[in-house]
Structure 1
């Protein structure tokens, strides 16, 4: 698929077919994610892959989705056979930039104009989404509710220095993808590019 088609076809898919996702495709998504830009080649990210029914069910339970609770969004999202959780590690960046070739002598995070550990992990997540499209699959990035992050950590033994930036469901697209979502209700903004000056 041409890159321009990958970009144009990428959208959040919230309901999936019953077929499993080829593990080799999941591996390609993760390989591509690890090619994302990252400050100082810090590589301060990790990816938790949940691809068994038991692990996927534990993900939903640990993030507050009661098995008896039903709504269109949740029922559709729970059809995904794979969940990938990208995690950011701030310590990897602070450590990397305290190394001699970076010129800083401490791990003071006030030097960072924005938290690049989240930015870079977000770019890695986008490569997962784009690879899904290129492979003919669907995917959806969404947030883990703040009040359930500790439960998620406990359920999967996530180290304290790794923060989930969200989660990505992956699966085979279905013809009926559910509600059209925000793009059907809102126009795409065309006033976001400024040339020369604002």
Structure 2
């Protein structure tokens, strides 16, 4: 598929065919492309928690969502359809890797002062790695969606999978073949902003 077509087709898919797993070679390409993302100082302070088995995915959803009692069947169709994804990838960022890297001699800083960073590039870089996985999924004929892990569920996620303290989940990617119930998000009714609205050439 031509790159321009991949970009044009990229969208968030929220329903999956539970009977079609992601082929192992495709899963590995998703991950191999993710680590081609740029990273500040080539710090590469990311990690990816890959969840494929029924038990692993059930543990993820149990740790990151409210109980079934709080959300009776049919009350949240979006979540019900998302749970069908056969593959979940949780990208993690490691701030310490960046603070350590920029305290090395070739970077010129002599300390790990976080205030030097105008934005948290550890999260930015993990986000760029996630985008490469989203684009790869399209190129492979799959659907994918990047969604957040609620702040109050991060501790439970860490405990459920033994995630070290220095790694923070920046979100999760659901990946699979789109299901019959997939439909466009109501948010898209807002329309895509045009270049004339977002591009400022030379000055604001």
CA separation of 1:171 and 1:67: change in aligned 2, threshold 3 A: farther
Tell me, yes or no, if structure 1 residue 173 matches structure 2 residue 174: no
Displacement, 1:180? 3.1
Mapping 1:60-71, distance limit 5 Å: 60-67=61-68, 69=71, 70=73, 71=76
The count of residues paired between Structure 1 and Structure 2 equals 197
Tell me, yes or no, if structure 1 residue 187 matches structure 2 residue 191: yes
Q: TM-score, normalised by structure 2?
A: 0.94
- SS state at 2:55 partner: helix
- SS state at 1:140 partner: strand
Tell me, yes or no, if structure 1 residue 154 matches structure 2 residue 159: yes
Alpha-carbon RMSD? 1.1
- Write out per-residue CA displacement over residues 33-74 of structure 1, whole angstroms, 9 at most, x where no aligned residue: 000010000000000000111100100001024345331111
- Write out per-residue CA displacement over residues 124-177 of structure 1, whole angstroms, 9 at most, x where no aligned residue: 000010000000000000001111100000000000000000000000013431
Kindly indicate whether the alpha-carbon contact (under 8 Å) linking 2:15 and 2:180 is maintained by their aligned counterparts in 1.
Answer: no
CA separation of 1:120 and 1:99: change in aligned 2, threshold 3 A: same
Any gaps of 5 or more consecutive residues in structure 1?
A: none
- SS state at 2:198 partner: coil
Match 2:140 to one of 118, 124, 135: 135
Mapping 1:1-198, distance limit 5 Å: 1-17=1-17, 18-67=19-68, 69=71, 70=73, 71-183=76-188, 185-190=189-194, 191-198=197-204
Any gaps of 5 or more consecutive residues in structure 2?
A: none
